[in-house]
């Protein structure tokens, strides 16, 4: 069964460093999403992406964040200058339409 994959599974970085989280959505899906979950808190929406552009973003998704679909398979989230409060589990998701979303296993980001 097709699934969303994410790499790395765990990323440790120092405050102020740039990180890129990678995702491979399900191949025939057209909508892509990033969410995050800070330990013990709700899953929060960051951004949705369709037709090579951001379709919606949350207040969390400020200028420090960017997304890109560099080729036909990958979808990336970049954090330019990480802060301690960026430590969280980051989930990528994809869907065929604005419909049932399928989530990847997540990348645990630890900022020290």
Q: Point out which residues bind another protein (CB under 8 A).
A: 31, 33, 35, 41-45, 48, 50, 55-56, 58, 91, 98-106, 108
Q: Which is nearer to another protein, 14 or 59 (CB)?
A: 59
Q: Which is nearer to another protein, 14 or 52 (CB)?
A: 52
When the beta carbons of 19 and 46 are compared against another protein, the nearer one is 46
Smallest gap from Cβ 67 to another protein, in A, equals 13
Residue 93 to residues 14, 20, 74, 112, Cα–Cα distance (Å) = 26, 16, 12, 26
Q: How far is the CB of 90 from another protein (least distance, A)?
A: 11
The least CB distance from residue 5 to another protein, in Å, is: 10
Q: Residues near 41 by Cβ (< 8 Å), separated by ≥ 6?
A: none
Q: Indicate the helix (H) or strand (E) that contains 93.
A: strand 88-95
Q: How far is the CB of 56 from another protein (least distance, A)?
A: 5
- Residue 38: its H or E element: none
28 versus 42: smaller Cβ distance to another protein: 42
Q: How far apart are CA 88 and CA 41, in angstroms?
A: 10
Place of tokens 């699934």: 3
Q: SS3 for 57?
A: strand
């Amino acid at each position: 069964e097709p699934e969303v994959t994410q790499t790395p599974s765990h990323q440790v970085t120092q405050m102020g460093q740039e990180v890129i989280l990678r995702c491979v959505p399900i191949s025939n899906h057209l909508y892509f999403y990033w969410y995050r979950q800070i330990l013990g808190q709700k899953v929060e929406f960051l951004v949705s992406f369709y037709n090579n552009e951001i379709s919606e973003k949350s207040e969390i998704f400020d200028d420090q964040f960017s997304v890109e679909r560099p080729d036909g398979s990958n979808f990336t989230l970049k954090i330019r200058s990480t802060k301690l409060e960026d430590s969280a589990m980051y989930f990528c998701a994809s869907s065929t339409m604005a419909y049932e979303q399928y989530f990847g296993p997540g990348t645990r980001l630890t900022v020290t």
